[in-house]
Amino acid sequence: MRESDYRAQSFWHESVPGSLAPRPSLAGEQTVDVAIVGAGYTGLWTAWYLASLEPGLRIAIVEAEIAGFGASGRNGGWCLGSLAGLEVVYGEPGAREGGIALQRALFETVDEVGRVCEREGIDCHWRKGGSVTVASVEAHRRGLLEELDELRALGFGEEDYRWLEPEACRALVRSQGNLGGLFTPHCAALQPALLARGLAEAVERRGVRIYECSPALALERGCVTTPNGRLRAETVVRATEAYTKTIRGHARALAPLHSLMFATEPLPEAVWKEIGLPNRETFGDPRRMVIYGQRTLDDRLAFGARGAYYFGSRIFDRFSEHAQAHRVVQEIAESLFPVLRGQRISHRWGGALAVPRNWRPTVSLDRQSGLATGGGYVGEGVAAANLAGRTLADLITERDSERVKLPLVRQPAPAWEPEPLRWLGITGVRHLGESLDRADLTGRPRPRLRGAIFDFFVRK
C-alpha cells in the first residue's frame, strides 16, 4: 500500500500530522530478546513497558502494514475501564474477587493511558469525560438498572457507576426517548490513530526497532519468519488480534468481526446543543449489536456500530463495498439524534475486531514454547490493551506483580470451529442478537428462548 492508502483508512488516519510512509522492512536475520508481532496497542504497549522495565532488553516489532493500521488506528476512541466478558468472570467459581480486582485495574488503566501520553508527549486528545449508556426504551432501562444492582452487589459505589434520571441524563446526551442512563466516570475519549502513532514513536525513542510491511508468516519456537527476514528471540509475542488468521497454524484462534464508523463534518454549536456531550462523554446504549459514539476534539460526531462476520474469517480493509451497512449505522445515529439528518458525513470506514471462541480476552505466556499472546478483546481493547501490555511485560520479565494474578491471565480460548460451522454459528448469533434488539426497541416481549440461546453463546 502507498502512504495515501494508509491515510485513507479512516478519519483518524487522515488527520494524523506527519508521514504515514512505512518504516523499513525486516531484511535478513536478527537476534533479539523479545520479538513482537503486530504494532497495534497490544504490541506497542508491551514494547513500551518492557523497554521501561528493562532498558537493556533488545526488542523488535514486525508489523504487516504500518503501526496503527488495524483496529488500534480506526476505533471509536473509547478508553473504557471495562472488558468484554467481565460479568462472566465474576460468576466463575472462586473468581469473584479476581473479577473485582480486574475491574479496578481497568478503572486505573484509563488514567494510566492518560499519564503515559502526558509523559511521552503524545497528544491523542485524551479527555476523561466518562461514559453514558442511555436507555432509549423500557427494556433498556430495566436491563441497566439490573446491571447497576449487580455492580452494587460487587461493591462498586456511586463513584464508579451511577444512575442518571432522564433530566440529568439528557444534560449529557440529548438522544430521543431518553429514559435515563448508567454513567461511569471511568472512560476517556481519544483520537485512536494519534495514540497508536505516538506510541510507536515513543517505543522507538526507548530503543525498540519497528519493521513495517513485514508480515509474520509463521511463528516457531524462538523464531518469527517474514518474507525477507527472520527474528530470533527467546520470547515471541503474538499481538495480531483480528488478523491472527494470517499466521500459519493460527487461522482459527480468533474470529474477526467488522465494526463500521462514520464521522460528520465539524458540527456547529447549535447542533451540539441538540446532541449534548458537553465534556466529550462517550455514549452508547445497551443493544446487543453495540453502538458507540464520541465528540471529537474538532466537534465532529464519530459514531459506529458492530457489523458482520464474513465466511472464512475474511477481513475487509476498504469499505466502499459496505454502503448498505454504513447506511444502517447512519440511520441508527439519526434515530437517536434527528438533528443529524442533513448534516454532512465526511468519512466512512470500518475495521475488524477479534472474538475468541469463549468471548473472553486473555493474556498468556507459555514458558516452554516462549510464545506469549494478548488480545481477544471483542471490541473493548483501547484501555484493555494497555493492561494486557503491562501484564505481558510483567510475565516476560518474571515480575510477581498483582497484574499477573488477575483473571485476564489464562489459557487462550479453544480454536473456533472450521467453516462452514464458524460462519453459521457467528451469523446465527448475530441474527438472534438483532431480533432481540428489535423486540426491545419496539416494546415487544423479549423472546425468552432466543434470549437464552444468545446468552449461552455470548456469555458462557
Q: Which is nearer to ligand FAD, 144 or 352 (CB)?
A: 352
Q: Least distance in Å: CB of 233 to ligand FAD?
A: 14
> Dihedral through CA 77, CA 324, CA 354, CA 423, nearest 10?
170
Provide CB contacts within 8 A for 391, sequence distance 6+.
363, 374, 401, 403, 404, 406, 408, 409
Q: Least distance in Å: CB of 320 to ligand FAD?
A: 16
Q: What is the CA radius of gyration of the chain?
A: 21
Q: Least distance in Å: CB of 336 to ligand FAD?
A: 17
Q: Least distance in Å: CB of 57 to ligand FAD?
A: 20
For 397, phi then psi, to 5°, come to -95, 10
Return the residues of window 404-433 that contact ligand FAD according to CB under 6 A: none
Q: Which is nearer to ligand FAD, 239 or 255 (CB)?
A: 239
- Please count the CA atoms within 13 angstroms of the CA of 252 that sit on its side-chain side: 12
Q: Which is nearer to ligand FAD, 43 or 198 (CB)?
A: 43
Say if CB 139 and CB 440 are below 8 A apart: yes
Residue with cell 452487589: 153
Per-residue binder mask for ligand FAD (CB under 6 A), 289-308, x = binder: ---x-----------x----
For 55, phi then psi, to 5°, come to -60, -20
* 420 prior amide bond cis, ω within 30: yes
For 45, phi then psi, to 5°, come to -65, -40
Q: Which is nearer to ligand FAD, 212 or 437 (CB)?
A: 212
Report the number of secondary-structure helices (H) and strands (E) in the chain: 14, 18
Note whether 114 binds ligand FAD by CB under 6 A.
no
What is the number of other CB atoms lying within 10 angstroms of the CB of residue 148? 15
Per-residue binder mask for ligand FAD (CB under 6 A), 35-64, x = binder: --xxxxxxx------------------xxx
Q: Least distance in Å: CB of 452 to ligand FAD?
A: 27
CA–CA separation, 68 vs 406, rounded Å? Answer: 27
Q: Which is nearer to ligand FAD, 141 or 215 (CB)?
A: 215
Q: Which of 427, 393, 344 is nearest to 42 (CA)?
A: 393
Q: Which is nearer to ligand FAD, 52 or 246 (CB)?
A: 246
Q: Looking at this protein, which amino acid is placed at residue 266?
A: P
CA distances from 217 to 1, 12, 192, 224, 225 (A): 18, 28, 27, 8, 6
Q: Which is nearer to ligand FAD, 112 or 241 (CB)?
A: 241
Residue with cell 499466521: 247
Return the residues of window 204-223 that contact ligand FAD according to CB under 6 A: 215-216
Q: What is the DSSP letter of 406?
A: S
CA–CA separation, 40 vs 144, rounded Å? Answer: 32
C-alpha cell at 448: 425468552
Return the residues of window 268-287 that contact ligand FAD according to CB under 6 A: none
Q: Least distance in Å: CB of 415 to ligand FAD?
A: 17
Per-residue binder mask for ligand FAD (CB under 6 A), 57-96, x = binder: -----xxxx---xxxx-xxxxx-x----------------
Q: Which is nearer to ligand FAD, 65 or 112 (CB)?
A: 65
C-alpha cell at 164: 442518571
Note whether 107 binds ligand FAD by CB under 6 A.
no
Q: Which is nearer to ligand FAD, 80 or 408 (CB)?
A: 80
Q: Which is nearer to ligand FAD, 141 or 225 (CB)?
A: 225
Q: Which of 254, 382, 387, 409 binds ligand FAD (CB under 6 A)?
A: 382
H-state helical runs in 24-137:
41-53, 71-74, 86-91, 96-120
Q: Least distance in Å: CB of 195 to ligand FAD?
A: 9
Per-residue binder mask for ligand FAD (CB under 6 A), 331-370, x = binder: -------------------xxxx-----------------
Considering CB under 6 A, how many residues would be counted as binding ligand FAD? Answer: 45
Residues of the shown chain interacting with ligand FAD in the complex, contacts defined by CB under 6 A: 37-43, 62-65, 69-72, 74-78, 80, 215-216, 239-243, 246-247, 259, 261, 292, 304, 350-353, 375, 377, 379-382, 385
